[in-house]
Amino acid sequence: MANPPLAAAPPRPRRKRPRSFTTERRPGFLVYGILLAFFLGSTYPLWYSLVIGSSDPGVFASAWPPLLPGGQFWHNVAEVFNTVDFWAALGNSLVVSSVITLSVVSFSTLAGYAFAKLRFRGREGLLVFVIATLAVPTQLGIIPLFMMMKEFGWTGSLGAIMIPTLVTAFGVFFMRQYLVDNIPDELIEAARVDGASMIGTFWHVGVPAARPAMAILSLFTFMTAWTDYLWPMLVAPQNPTLQVALSQLQSARYVDYTIVMAGALMATIPLLVLFVVAGRQLVSGIMAGAVKG
């Protein structure tokens, strides 16, 4: 920061940018109309999956695309349960995503804190290394990874699904960027003067300060783990996550799209719930830079 260190830096207050009424008039209907159209386009595919997922296969014979849901939803849901073990897949996804999230967030906070607030030889170099690996497509290492899992006899286990994403360079970088600004050095110095050990300082100063960023990182790590398809499909098809089970619906010999659509909708519901609960945090997380391709 440009300004000289303050004696006891208080958390910087959020400064609202001054709005002037000459340029900040309320926009007209056109803007709302465009946004509404975009919103309808954003939600229509979900509506479409509900319409098809609640119809019987005859729906495809009609010339006009149907607009309203039919009465077959529960029948199709039952068919989904008959075709794949939905609950087991849901459980697998929950376990895999939770463990990955826990691991990524803990290790990222620890490393991010060290990079942001502790002095050690090689810090700059190692941080550059972390930043450089942000752009490295580690997904391309799947062949040796698969060989390793096979060698250890781990294929088919949930552990094998989790292993490649237990840490991410992104998480470390994200936590570091947040903590650099959000822990006053004076607080750490004070804890040290008071005789706190390093880990004690981390626990009592670092973690509380890191909490907002940890929440955002958790959210995005969970989402990423939940949506992953290639690796779980490859390493543990017999122990499918929700995404893999969903794809298996389609690979049945005879594809009944009404059932596939019902399944797609069912698999989307958990994340829709998450969206309703934490949508605001997702938005502010993305806007604060929790960005990941």
Residues 71-110 close enough to bind another protein by CB under 8 A = 107-108, 110
Which C-beta is closer to another protein: that of 66 or that of 75? 66
Binding to another protein in span 28-67, by CB under 8 A: 31-32, 34-35, 38-39, 41-43, 45-46, 48-49, 52, 60-61, 63-65
Nearest residue to 118 (alpha-carbon basis) of 89, 126, 140, 157: 126
- In angstroms, rounded to a whole number, what is the distance separating the alpha carbons of residues 141 and 129? 18
Which of 258, 115, 72, 259 lies closest to 245 in space, CA to CA?
Answer: 259
Torsion of CA 112, 118, 119, 123, to 10 degrees: 0
Measured CA to CA, the distance from residue 183 to residue 109 in angstroms comes to 13
Q: Is 20 in the site for another protein (CB under 8 A)?
A: yes
Determine which residue in the list 7, 8, 10, 25 makes contact with another protein, applying CB under 8 A.
25
Least CB distance to another protein at residue 33 (A): 10
Q: For another protein, which residue of 8, 125, 143, 153 counts as binding (CB under 8 A)?
A: 143
Q: Which of 74, 87, 227, 277 binds another protein (CB under 8 A)?
A: 227
- Chain positions 240 to 259 lying near another protein, rule: CB under 8 A, are 243, 246-247, 249-251, 255, 257
Q: Number of helices (H) and strands (E), helices first, in the chain?
A: 13, 0
Tell me the C-alpha distance between 287 and 96, whole Å.
27
Which distant-in-sequence residues (6+ apart) come within 8 Å of 118 by Cβ? 198
Q: Does 204 bind another protein (CB under 8 A)?
A: no
- Footprint on residues 158-187 left by another protein (CB under 8 A): 163-164, 166-170, 172-174, 176-178, 180-182, 185
CB 102 within 8 A of CB 79: no
What is the identity of the amino acid at 120?
F
Smallest gap from residue 115 Cβ to another protein (A): 7
Report in angstroms how near the CB of residue 135 gets to another protein at its nearest: 4
Q: What does the radius of gyration of the chain's CA atoms come to, in whole angstroms?
A: 24
Q: How far is the CB of 91 from another protein (least distance, A)?
A: 17
